Amino acid sequence: MTFSVAEPRPPRRLVLSIHDVSPRHEGAVDRLRDLLVANGGERMAMLVVPNFWGEAPILRGSPFAARLRCWAEAGVEIFLHGSLHRDDSTHGSAVDRFKARRMTAGEGEFLGLDRAEAARRIAAGRSLIEDVTGRPVAGFVAPAWLYGPGALAAMTEARIGLAEDHWKIWDAASGAIVARSPVITWASRTPARMASSLAVAAAARAAARLVPGPRVLRVAVHPGDVTAPPLVRSITATVAALGRGRTVSRYEDLVGDAGCRR
């Protein structure tokens, strides 16, 4: 007689990230980090911009660089998040022009870059962040989650670790999907966008009480979120609600889960 052993089921996870980490936003990053930690989010990722809009460079040996190293040593996953976070490209297709104009406020930096320029910016940013933290970056996430063909090709060649967009997380080198996971985020740019993001977050909280939902959920917060008390309250409530019955996890944990299923 033979017995089959069921494969272990990966846990339900919540992954938290702070975007646009930069000296320009240091105070807001501190507030966001405190908010996440206070609601059970000791594990988190930080998406670091080497020189936000060309106005806030991270300098080797600076106090902010020392803070990045301390965060990395404490277990924060550090992702490279573009180079300037500013879109200077001229977009040829109507689809890309729509994305650049409607999906972000001029910040889709890697949407229109060719492979060579994308590779140059990735290599320079990676070198800086790895020198500062003393360890490999966890991956690369394009600003506004917008990737053009040049960016995707450069990421594959760089073998830079994990990447993500609004709906999934994948291995940048192989293209293998690590997890299909929606991301909940907030917008402070206009009253309409703020109202929409608050409604989406409220719906996610309501759904979490009624149905199991996706195995992996992501919450992404931005420095502008702390400027609006309704957003701060929504983030607090959402992280607390989605964390019930889920393990607050690292992106690296998702790689192990994917291996568990193979």
Model confidence, pTM: 0.89
Lowest mean pLDDT among 114-118, 120-124, 226-230, 258-262: 258-262
The rounded radius of gyration (Å) of the Cα atoms in the chain is 18
The model's pLDDT over 16-58, given as tens digits with 9 standing for 90+, comes to: 999 999 999 999 999 999 999 998 777 999 999 999 999 999 9
Among residues 160, 164, 191, 192, the alpha carbon closest in space to that of 177 is found at: 164
Q: Which residue has the higher pLDDT, 212 or 226?
A: 226
**CA–CA gap between residue 72 and residue 76 (Å, rounded):** 5
Residue 151 Cα distances to 51, 87, 88, 111, 229, angstroms: 18, 13, 14, 7, 36
Band of the pLDDT at 162, cuts 50, 70, 90? very high
Band of the pLDDT at 6, cuts 50, 70, 90? low
Please list the residues that pair with 78 across neighbouring strands: 46
Band of the pLDDT at 7, cuts 50, 70, 90? low
Number of alpha carbons in the 13 Å side-chain half-sphere of residue 239: 29
Q: Cβ of 35: how many Cβ atoms within 10 Å?
A: 18
Tokens of 38: 């206070």
Band of the pLDDT at 86, cuts 50, 70, 90? low
- Is residue 172 within 8 A of residue 155, CB to CB? The reply is yes
Q: What pLDDT does 76 receive? A: 96
